[in-house]
Amino acid sequence: MNGNVVYEVNLDVDASVIEDYRRWLDAHVVEVCALPGFIDAHLYETIDPPAEAGRVSLCVHYRMRDAEAFQNYLNEHAPRMREEGEKRFGGRYLSQRRVLVHLAREDCQA
């Protein structure tokens, strides 16, 4: 894999804990971005498809330098970080992950 890697994490969170979850997630994103090879992160609320009643859908895109940085994250940091989320919010959120490799960019007119 050549080029930047985007690590996408889709989150389905119980609305009853969303304020606490967002505080935790914001700090978590800062912690992840401090790791070697991470370039930036973007947090989104997913509006389509809409979340089910009583749920909030979020999506985080972490951009990394390359596949080696991603593999290092998986080997050295991901297990501990995922466990922290599970300990605090287990059963009140679901997560799905995707990994994308950048191929091309086209700037659109505003």
Give the pLDDT confidence of 90-99 residue by residue, as tens digits.
999 999 999 9
- Tell me the per-residue pLDDT of 22-54, one tens digit each, with 9 for 90 and over: 999 999 999 999 999 999 999 999 999 999 999
Q: What is the pLDDT of residue 84?
A: 94
Specify the pLDDT at position 110: 76
CATH of region 5-101, choose from 3.30.70.100, 3.40.50.2000, 3.40.50.880, 2.60.120.10: 3.30.70.100
Omega cis (within 30) before 36:
no
> In degrees rounded to 5, what are phi and psi of residue 59?
-145, 130
How many C-alpha atoms does 97 have within 13 Å on its Cβ side?
9
Domain positions in the chain are 5-101
User: From residue 88, how far is each of 8, 56, 59, 71, 105 by CA, in Å?
Assistant: 21, 17, 19, 25, 38
Work out the average pLDDT over 89-109: 92
Would you say the pTM of this structure is higher than 0.85?
A: yes
